[in-house]
Structure 1
Amino acid sequence: MTAWLLVCNPMKFRLKAMLDDGGELTNWSVGRYLRDMHKGDHFALWLTGQGAGVVATGELTGEPYWTDDDEDDDGYWAEPPGPRNVVPLRVEQWLQAPVPRSWFKTHGDFAAATVLTQPFATNPHRLSDEQWGALAAEVEQALTHPTEGWQPEGDGIWDLRPGDQIRRVELHDRYGGSRQGGISPSRTSNNVIFFTDPGTGEQHGYQDVWESDDHFRYTGEGQVGDQVFSRGNKAIRDHLQEGRRLRLFIGSRGVVRYSGEWILDQSRPYSWGQAPSTGGGDERQVIHFHMIRIGAAVTAPDVPVGAEYRVEDETTIPAPALPSAPDPALMAQTLSKHRQLQNALAQQVRDRGYHPLSPTATDPAFDLAWHQEDTLTVTEVKSLRLENESHQLRTGVGQLLDYVDQLSARSPQVRGVLWVERAPTEDRWIGICERAGIVLAWPGTEARVWP
């Protein structure tokens, strides 16, 4: 019997509010393994955020199906989920306290579990027979020996942009976290908020260094004695595994300025240094976190590229952000075609025995990638209309040259594929791409990609 792990982000779905109102969970959104999920399969529900873990188990009551409306919303979604695939289910038990993330991290059967290694992957995560057996036993233990109850994180959606200023009191009212200290893990959202302030930090030995606009060395917390990995330091060190986002602010009191989202450099997440204690005391050991701004190029060879492919929704198209945006119907048609092309290409990759990948926070924004022996193939997908064909092809070539350059240090060989919906009207584009070292292909010319 197959078993699945479904993930619920309480910032997006107010699960606790639904249960408090006497509601019943009858289905859940899924985006992959649609043909593998069947009636009678076991499932566990994983709640993200502070105190994350499994809070319920049950079984599927049918096959995944497509729904075009928000009939299951009832006001508990932070934003209407829109058209999507859902799988019907029945919860058989809610746990008074979750099986926590820490249990999964220390249990040998879950060392490579995707909910830990790919926390942002699309629902669901597949569980092996051994994993489900171990989890079922732990759930039984939690039911017979309950501890303190669980509280999901709050409903605040991050809406600050880099450069925005906000009073620190208001910041924490909105997103949680302590109003004092340099590192402030939130219990009401999935954010770790941290602050750098040369005016106050250096007197405590906090010598933060901007190595470039995209690389920042941040000193951990702890004013006296050697710093250790607890509280805020631990939250920063483990943020990727725990699915938490690092939010940096300039300043520490009054009005602070948002500097954007960061991640730890996975090739060298931290190092140790020496600094005086508060007030100029004895030298002590401090932690230096090595951070990279989200979107910056990562060149360390041991940082893996991509995560399991996230199937693109081919029907839910966002509305234009500005009244002056192009024709909404045309935008929807173009974006839908792009997503269809991308999903179809991902399926071809699977059919040939390879694993399609979507970019992570440490990757450039490619559409699709896969490993084939010692070669990493990275693709850009483009829909084509007569009026925009040259622009799309020029843009695609430029993007791929950038992607290949950024990823060249992370794979023995990297090649770029420009995948378009049809043959270009001008054959010269084939020669242009060949001279640039890029494969130009479209449906029906798969032999260009897989000779």
Structure 2
Amino acid sequence: MSWTIARYVNEVAVGDEFVLWMGGTNAGVIAQGHFTAGAAYGQPDLDYWSEDPGPRHYVPLEVDRWLDLRVPKSQLATDPRMASATILRQPFAGNPHRLEEDEWQAIREAIDTSVGHDPKWDLEPGDELRRVDLHAQYGGSSQNGISPSSSTNNILIFTAASSGHQHGYYDTWNEDGTFHYTGEGQTGDQKMIRGNKAILEHQESGKRLRLFDGARGTVRYLGEWTLDPDEPYSEDQAPATGGGPLRKVIRFHLVPVKTTITTPTVGIGQAYVAPDENVSPATAVPSAPDPDLVGRNLSTHRQLQNTLAEEARKRGFTALSPSPSDPDFDLAWRDATDQVTVCEVKSLTIANEARQLRAGLGQVLDYQDQLRERALEPSAVLWIERAPSEGRWVDLCQRVGVLLAWPGKEDTVFED
């Protein structure tokens, strides 16, 4: 509602524009607005004071826009129009800092960029390029999964199931379109430092989060993201690199920036990545939502999955693992006509058979439904360890368009 001032008391006037500057490590512009009256002397608005400052000069104001992304001091400092600005040369001088017209123009342009499309960013969701070329253009380290750039206002982050799972990085695409991204740190508990801290403070530092599918070679741009304002991250457990002991990991809750994310036109899946079958209960996937991914079931599940993927390849199909833009199916394959089949794999015991069949059928129907916009009527297969004890399951799956099959039924699954 108001702000105390020490300078230019007789010059500030109703209608004058202002920007609000936040000091500190991530200094920069956080809001803009206008004065609703000239300066007055008296008791200022006490809501913003830890203790009563006593009567002083203040100016009534209204904030027109709080910025989602701060305009960082580092960005303004590189603009030659800001070379003489006192906010950069004498930041601890009393309020307000007066700006010349060219300085105002520089700040206005920076604010417009912070709330809209960055004109210096040329990639669109779905674009592919070599990672080395990406860093040559936008900066950042080519070695890390989280790569803040010092030369541009971007943080480049990379997700890849093929390399991430070996380090306990289980990134997940959620049904509501959000993405949970595992922080950096391959051994020991992950801490909110370095790249993790850069993601957490990306709005304060004025940097945009750019997500890429792939870690090496050619990567695919998945758009601009931001942290969920209500729950920016959570903590979970995952094994250390190479299946080591469980440790704390940070899972960032990312939300797509709607102005830049478009409906994916990219294909489904990526080259199949065979999971390690030599696992024990100690190295099972922690906090797995799927009861098939614990203990004895995990090893059996992976054997069934890998064997079926190899069978698909032998018969001329392209076996696929999910990419971050896909639902979390176990396996999929594509034929020569680009027809896609999505598959859920389930191990069975006498005790869990009904539960596993119910869960598997629901999962594969969900995957099929999510993929309809990107594939022409994708087929669905529920692949189980053995024939079910009750034949009704075959008929039930058939009625809803799902093929229920098990080892020995490969000809039925891969028939022309």
**TM-score (normalised: structure 1):** 0.41
Larger Rg: 2
